[in-house]
Structure 1
Amino acid sequence: MRKKLLYLSLLLLPAALLINLGIMVFIDDEAIRSLVAQEMLWSGNFVSPTMHGDAYLNKPPLWNWILALSFTLHGEVNEWAARLPTVLGLLGFAATTYYFSRKHFPSYLAAIHALTVITCGRMLFWDSMLALIDVTFSWVVYVQIMLLYEHGRNGNWWKAFGWTYALTAVGFMLKGLPAIVFQGLSVFAVLGWTRSWKQFFRPAHIFSGIACLAVLALYYWQYSEYVDLEKVARRLFVESGKRTAVAHGLVESVQHVVAFPFEMSYHFLPWTLLLVYLLQPGSWAKLKKNDFAAFMLVAFLANIPIYWLSPNVYPRYLLMLFPLLFGSLLFLHQSHAANNTRSYRTLRYTFLALMTLCAVVIPFAPLFPGTEVVSYAWLKSILLGAAAGAIVWMAWQSERNLLILFTVFLLLLRIGFNFFVLPPRADQDERGILVRNTAYNVMEGHEKDSVAIFGYTLIEPATGYYLTKARGHVVRRQFEGFDSTTHYLVSPIEYPGLEVIQTDSLYLRHLSRARPDGDVYYPFGTLPSPPRERVEWNKPLRDGMGSGM
Structure 2
Amino acid sequence: MIDQRPFSKSEKQLLFGGLVLLIFSFFYQLGIYPLYLEEPRRGIIALEMIFQDNFWVPTQTGDLYFRKPPVYNWVLIASYKLFGQYSEFATRFFSVLSHLILSLLTFAFVKRYLGQFRAALVSISLLVSADILVYFSTIGEIDLFYALITTTAMFAVFHFGEQRKYWQLFLIVYALTAIGFLTKGLTSLPFTAITLLVYFIQKKEFKTLLRLPHISGILVFSGLVGGYFFMYSQYQDVSGWWSTLLSESADKATKGGFLKFLNHLVAFPLETIKNILPAGLLLPVLFKKGTIAKLKSNPLVWYSVLVFSFNFLIYWFSIEAKSRYIYPLLPFLIIPIIYIATNAKEIRWAKVYKVAITVFLILFSLIAPIGFFVDGLENVDNLYVYVVVLLIIAAILWYMFLAKGVRPYIIMICLMVAVKFTFSSIVPQTRQKETGAAEDKTLGLEIAEITKGQPLHRLGDVRMSLTIVYYIEREREEPLYQSQTLKEGYYICYSDDLPKDRPYSILREFAYWGEPIYFISLD
What's the TM-score, normalizing by structure 2? 0.92
SS at structure 2 position matched to 1:366: coil
Counterpart CA distance in 2 for 1:28 and 1:421 is: 16
Distance 1:147 1:204 in 2: 14
Bigger shift: residues 149-158 or 229-238: 149-158
Give the equivalent residue in structure 2 for 1:252.
260
Q: CA 1:374/1:210 → structure 2, altered by over 3 Å: closer, same or farther?
A: same
Residue 267 (structure 1) aligned with residue 280 (structure 2): no
Partner of 2:335: 327
Tell me the CA shift for residue 425 of structure 1: 4.0
Which residue does 2:481 correspond to in 1? 476
1:403 is aligned, of 409, 412, 415, to: 409
Q: In 2, Cα distance between the equivalents of 1:457 and 1:357?
A: 49
- 1:306 corresponding residue in structure 2: 314
Alignment counterpart, residue 458 of structure 2, candidates 449, 453, 456? 453
Name the SS for the 2:113 alignment partner: coil
**RMSD, matched Cα:** 2.1
**2:356 corresponding residue in structure 1:** 350
Distance change >3 Å, CA 380–CA 40, structure 1 → 2: same
Q: Deviations over 1:238-271 (max 9, x none)?
A: 23332112x3322222221222212222233232
Q: How does 1:155-166 map to 2 (within 5 A)?
A: 155-166=164-175
Q: How does 1:90-489 map onto structure 2 within 5 Å?
A: 90-245=99-254, 247-336=255-344, 339-399=345-405, 401-429=407-435, 431-479=436-484, 482-489=485-492
Checking the alignment, whether the CA contact within 8 Å between 1:505 and 1:521 is kept in structure 2 is no
C-alpha displacement of 1:125: 0.2
For each residue in 1:7-45, what CA deviation from the matched residue of structure 2 results, as whole angstroms up to 9, or x when unmatched? 223322332201111122212311011111111222221
CA distance in 1, matches of 2:97, 2:236: 33
Cα contact 1:487–1:525 (8 A) shared by 2: yes
| Cα separation, 2, equivalents of 1:133 and 1:317 | 10
Q: Does 1:522 align with 2:513?
A: no
* Contact map agreement 1:356 1:392 (CA 8 A) in 2: no
Question: What amino acid maps onto 2:334 in structure 1?
Answer: F
What residue is the counterpart of 2:58 in the other structure? 49
The structure 1 residue matched to 2:508, chosen from 505, 510, 530, is 505
Post-superposition CA distance 1:309-335 (Å, at most 9, x none)? 112222211111122111110011101
The SS at the match of 2:56 is coil
**Aligned equivalents of 1:191, 1:399: Cα separation in 2:** 44
- C-alpha contact (below 8 Å) 2:431/2:438 kept by paired residues: no
**Which ranges of structure 1 fall in alignment gaps of 5 or more residues?**
513-519, 529-549
Amino acid at match of 2:263: Q
The Cα shift of 1:400 comes to: 5.6
Conserved in 1, the CA contact under 8 Å of 2:130 and 2:275? Answer: yes
Query: How far off is 1:303 after superposition?
Result: 0.6
1:459-488 per-residue CA deviation (whole Å, 9 max, x = no partner) reads 332232122234342211235xx2342422
CA deviation string 1:142-185 (max 9, x = no partner):
11111101222332222221110111011112111111121111
Cα separation, 1, equivalents of 2:135 and 2:519: 35
Q: Deviations over 1:350-379 (max 9, x none)?
A: 233213311332133222222222333223
Is contact 2:44-2:60 (8 Å) kept? Answer: yes
Give the secondary-structure state (helix, strand or coil) at the position aligned to 1:453.
strand
* Secondary structure at the counterpart of residue 517 of structure 2: strand
Q: Contact 1:276/1:343 (CA < 8 Å) preserved in 2?
A: no
CA contact (8 A) 2:458 2:482 kept: yes
Q: Is the Cα–Cα contact under 8 Å of residues 359 and 392 in structure 1 kept in the other structure? A: no
> How many pairs were matched up?
512
Structure 1 residues 443 and 120: CA distance shift in structure 2, 3 A? same
Alpha-carbon shift at residue 527 of structure 1 (Å): 7.4
CA distance in 2, matches of 1:425, 1:448: 31
1:502 deviation in Å? 4.8
Deviation of the 1:294 alpha carbon? 1.9
Identify which of 14, 18, 23 aligns with 1:14: 23
For 2:247, the aligned partner's letter is V
Instruction: Give the Cα–Cα distance (whole angstroms) in 2 for the partners of residues 508 and 152 of structure 1.
Output: 56
Instruction: Read off the aligned partner of 1:257 and give its amino acid letter.
Output: L
Q: Aligned partner of 2:213: which letter?
A: A
CA gap 1:286/1:219 in 2 versus in 1, 3 angstroms: same
Moved more, 68-77 or 401-410: 401-410
Give the counterpart letter for 2:240 in structure 1. K
CA distance in 2, matches of 1:41, 1:319: 30
Higher RCO (Cα < 8 Å, 6 or more apart): 2
Give the counterpart letter for 1:243 in structure 2.
Answer: K
SS in 2 for 1:503: strand
- Contact 1:86/1:132, CA 8 A, preserved across alignment: yes
Deviations 1:102-160 (A, max 9, x none): 01223122112111122011010001111011001101111111110122233222222
For the residue of structure 1 that corresponds to 2:342, the secondary structure is helix
* TM-score of the pair, normalised by structure 1: 0.88
Once residues 293 and 476 of structure 1 are traced to their aligned partners in structure 2, the CA distance between those partners, rounded to angstroms, is: 53
Aligned partner of 1:218: which letter?
G
SS in 2 for 1:369: coil
Moved more, 468-477 or 41-50: 468-477
* Distance verdict in 2 for CA 1:259–1:8, change over 3 Å: same
Letter in 1 for 2:198: A
Amino acid at match of 1:142: T
Identity %: 24
Is this contact kept in 2: 1:486–1:526, CA < 8 A?
yes
